Chain A
């Protein structure tokens, strides 16, 4: 299904990352219109647009903003979560590299609505190129009078700073991000209080994802109704989906909320199918923490509600395809290893459980698995976070859930493959566990 491009419309255009090119394509018109509205009306428009957060949880953006107390005398902050690190996710990187001004315009709109005069963009440390582009764009915005003492002539000062992380997935969790912005190690905070009430430096703070704020300019340029209509009843707009794994044309695609996994994977304008002779065995629909789906689920729309109906999630938009020649024990081991590496060590179930999952999976993958290991594995996952439903984790933050959900879902849906490793005392895929493209050119 074709959809009007909203977020990626400028990608690939000459100098798309410059202010000049952005303004030529209509940039900063949305901000101009938003500044003509009272902040409360800006918030109402965002609610009307049905914009939902694009960082993973899909929380309605307008509602999140409305939690900021009006009567709190402390300064209010906006923090942008540009710590994109969920395996399979690489969309925010393209926004920042190819069209950073779309994010900056969204920041100005959000700050106007929130009454925030300071914004910190927290970009993951590894994004050197993205950081250079965003920094250059921020400098352009100051020089053009978009940021600084007045926002486009309006008596509203706004300072925007870029802060680079230093390699820690956990800092994408919004309270860990705030800790890191405060110059500490990234240990998530207990909630409540939520950041909207007690956030950065103890002040009310909204944390929004890059794609989320990049969606704001078009909402104000073309109207909230227009934006809402692009999507479904509960999710406005379009969204970016990152396709990777065993497909012929991986990449970031801007999709309608109605597009199905099958269309994304098979369509000529998107994934262009699997290599000849291969078919889908498993698909992770929303970043590596999202419960895995099977080939039977391909007609599901890649959208918050539809995926929720399949007991998984749209998450961060990372769709990872595994073909029928891929070993799922090895795949799950890689995912489990990631969460073990990235566990911050604060909560026992996650600190101890994530390496335990990894060791058990490695043992099974190497053919050393014993009867009972699968149940121990499930027991460990259960101790971190029972499933279903999503969200029962026994840890302060959702990293515990993220680490346990893949284990629950892979074992539940592909148990026979785990058992084959144990009964055959080897990986049935031998030296080629990684599917069609895994052999490397």
Chain B
């Protein structure tokens, strides 16, 4: 038999979390909670497993298609298992003017991945403006933000990752 989606503890967190989120919306607008509900699922599982999205759709009294549509529209939602660390490097104009293309090349070499590729540990992506234009270049690892990056600083950040 396939492993259950949640551990009992995760299931409790999920159920209570969804119940709390639903209090923020009108009773006849449960499906409005889709983004926070998917975020909760992803926080628990690291990505959005299909059976999890089915559960979200049921909780929100909406269709599975709606859950999947939303999940695939927004780049921060992972409908496939990403690496342990998703590394998003901003290469937009302001960051590129402060070396972002060189930063990306350095990471590609350091991680042995091209932008857009992933392995067990890392998923390296180019991303769009992260509002660090004044402290460029910048990157985000999962949801943690790092700015004013130098080679040294990048090495230090990655040395701490396991």
Residues on B with C-beta less than 8 A from A440 are 98-100, 102-103, 106, 137, 150-151
Considering the complex, give the chain B residue whose CB is closest to the CB of A203.
B26
Within B128-162, the residues touching A (CB, 8 Å) are 128-137, 140, 143-145, 150-151
**What is the 8 Å Cβ interface bit string for chain A, positions 330-344, against chain B (1 contact, 0 not)?**
110011001001101
Contacting residues, chain B, for A85 (C-beta < 8 A): 128-129, 131
Q: Mark A201-213, 1 if CB is under 8 A from B, else 0.
A: 1000000000000
- Tell me, in angstroms, the Cα distance from A93 to B74 when the chains sit together: 20
Contacts of A338 in B (CB 8 A): 92-93, 128-129
Q: Given the complex of chains A and B, what is the CA–CA distance between A320 and B26 in angstroms?
A: 42
Residue in A93, A167, A326 whose beta carbon sits within 8 Å of that of B97 in the complex: A326
Chain B residues near A184 (CB-CB < 8 A):
34, 66, 69-70
Of B32, B102, B144, B145, which is within 8 A of A183 by CB?
B32
- In whole angstroms, what is the CA distance A85 to B94 when docked? 13
**Is there contact, CB below 8 Å, between A126 and B130?**
yes
Closest partner residue, chain B, to A245 (CB atom) = B97
B13 within 8 A of A: no
What is the CA–CA distance of A89 and B62 in the complex, to the nearest angstrom? 36
A349 in the interface (beta carbon within 8 A): no
Tell which of A86, A163, A250, A342 touches B136, judged by Cβ atoms closer than 8 Å.
Answer: A250
Bound-state CA distance A246–B93 (Å) is: 11
A-contacting residues, B16-52, CB 8 Å: 24, 26, 29, 31-36, 38-39
If A90-B132, A90-B134, A167-B76 touch, whether A438 touches B96 (CB-CB below 8 Å) is yes
Task: Check if B2 is an interface residue, CB within 8 A of chain A.
Answer: no
Contacts of A359 in B (CB 8 A): none
Chain B: which residue is nearest A345 at the CB level? Answer: B73
Nearest CB on A from B36, distance (A): 6
Report A392-441 residues with CB < 8 Å from chain B CB: 434-435, 437-441
Give the contacts of B73-98 with A (CB-CB under 8 A).
Answer: 73-77, 91-94, 96-98
Cβ–Cβ contact A86 & B97, under 8 A: no
CA distance A341 to B36 in the complex (A): 23
Residues of B within 8 A of A124 (CB): 131
B108 within 8 A of A: no
A124 and B145 alpha carbons, distance in the complex (Å): 13
Q: Which residues of A contact B36 (CB under 8 A)?
A: 163-164
Residue of A180, A183, A434 with most partner-chain B CB within 10 A = A183
Residues of chain B with a CB closer than 8 A to A159's CB: 24
Report which of B32, B74, B137 forms a contact with A165, defined as CB distance below 8 A. B74
**In whole angstroms, how far apart are the Cα atoms of A95 and B69 in the complex?**
32
A89 to B128, CA, bound (A): 12
Q: Could you tell me the distance between the alpha carbons of A88 and B93 in the complex, rounded to whole angstroms? A: 8
User: In the complex the two chains form, what is the Cα distance from A397 to B74 in whole Å?
Assistant: 18
How many chain B residues sit at the interface, stated as a range, is 35 or more
Residues 228 to 268 of chain A near chain B (Cβ within 8 Å)? 242-246, 250-252
Q: Which of A169, A251, A284, A331 contacts B134 (CB 8 A)?
A: A251
The A67-115 residues at the B interface (CB cut-off 8 A) are 84-90, 93
Known: A128-B143, A201-B29. A168 touches B74 (CB 8 A): yes
Residue A182 at the chain B interface, CB threshold 8 Å = yes
Inter-chain CA distance A163–B77, complex, in Å, is: 15
Closest residue on chain B to residue A287 by CB atoms: B129
- If A288-B93, A434-B99 touch, whether A87 touches B144 (CB-CB below 8 Å) is no
A-B pair count, CB < 8 Å, reads 169
Shortest CB-to-CB span from B53 to chain A, Å, is 13
- Asked whether A148 is an interface residue with its Cβ less than 8 Å from the other chain, the reply is no
- Greatest chain B CB density within 10 A among A163, A320, A341 is at A163
In this assembly, does A322 line the interface, its C-beta being within 8 Å of a C-beta of chain B?
Answer: yes
Q: A183-B33, A438-B98, A441-B150 are in contact. Are A166 and B75 (CB under 8 A)?
A: yes
Q: A84-B131, A167-B76, A320-B94 are in contact. Are A183 and B35 (CB under 8 A)?
A: yes
Select B76's contact among A126, A185, A330, beta carbons within 8 Å: A126
Contact status A322-B97, CB under 8 Å: yes
Q: Are B69 and A183 in contact (CB under 8 A)?
A: no
In the complex the two chains form, what is the Cα distance from A440 to B134 in whole Å?
15
Shortest Cβ distance from residue A340 to the other chain B in the assembled complex, whole angstroms: 10
Contact of A201 with B74 at beta-carbon distance under 8 Å, contacts A87-B129, A244-B136, A250-B136 already known = no
Is B60's beta carbon under 8 Å from chain A? yes
Subset of 29 A-B contacts with CB under 8 Å: A85-B129, A85-B131, A87-B92, A87-B133, A89-B129, A90-B132, A125-B76, A127-B131, A166-B76, A169-B128, A181-B32, A183-B35, A185-B69, A242-B133, A244-B134, A245-B97, A245-B133, A250-B134, A250-B135, A284-B93, A288-B92, A320-B133, A322-B97, A434-B96, A434-B97, A438-B96, A438-B101, A439-B99, A440-B102
Interface, chain B (partner A; CB < 8 A)? 24, 26, 29, 31-36, 38-39, 60, 62, 66, 69-70, 73-77, 91-94, 96-103, 106, 128-137, 140, 143-145, 150-151
User: With A161-B24, A185-B74 given, can you name 20 additional A-B contacts, CB distance below 8 Å?
Assistant: A84-B131, A88-B129, A124-B131, A126-B143, A129-B145, A167-B76, A169-B129, A180-B35, A185-B69, A201-B26, A242-B134, A250-B94, A250-B135, A251-B134, A288-B92, A326-B97, A334-B92, A335-B92, A434-B101, A437-B98
